[in-house]
Amino acid sequence: MTLRPSTAERLDRAIDHLLTGAPPAVAAATAGLPAPQRALVEAAASVRSALVASVVAPRFEARLGARLSGAATSPWILRHPGRLIVSGAVGSAVGVGVTTYAVWRTTRRASAAHRLLHR
């Protein structure tokens, strides 16, 4: 007994065909999608064509690469990539802590002022 693929699986196959260069109609027909779902493949094709990567000049790429490789922290980062992740996590935690404290202080001041007004 063979199971018929679900609509999601057929749509996934159609997108795979589309990514290999097949036209939307051919990709949808090859995957066995019914007519209402073929519009999804056409929409995927139009989104793909709209999101074409911008062309970057080789000179710009070379300059950017030189700047990144010449950064003062670059050798340290390459030797200790785990520390970069840890320092980012600690920095985020500190940011969250400071924000939480600021919100807590603001709400306490507002409640204290509110109590003084009603005396």
Per-residue pLDDT of the chain (119 residues; tens, 9 = 90+): 568 888 888 989 999 998 888 999 999 999 998 888 888 899 988 888 888 776 778 888 788 777 766 655 556 666 666 666 676 677 787 778 878 877 777 776 555 555 555 55
pLDDT of residue 23: 92
3-state DSSP assignment of residue 98: helix
**CB contact at 8 A, 32 and 50:** no
What per-residue confidence (pLDDT) applies to 119? 55
Find, among 27, 57, 51, the residue nearest to 39 by Cα: 27
Q: What is the pLDDT of residue 26?
A: 92
Q: Please, what is the angle between helix 35-50 and helix 24-31, to 10°?
A: 140
Q: Which residues 6+ apart lie within 8 Å of 23 measured at CB?
A: 45
The two structure tokens encoding residue 119: 């005396």
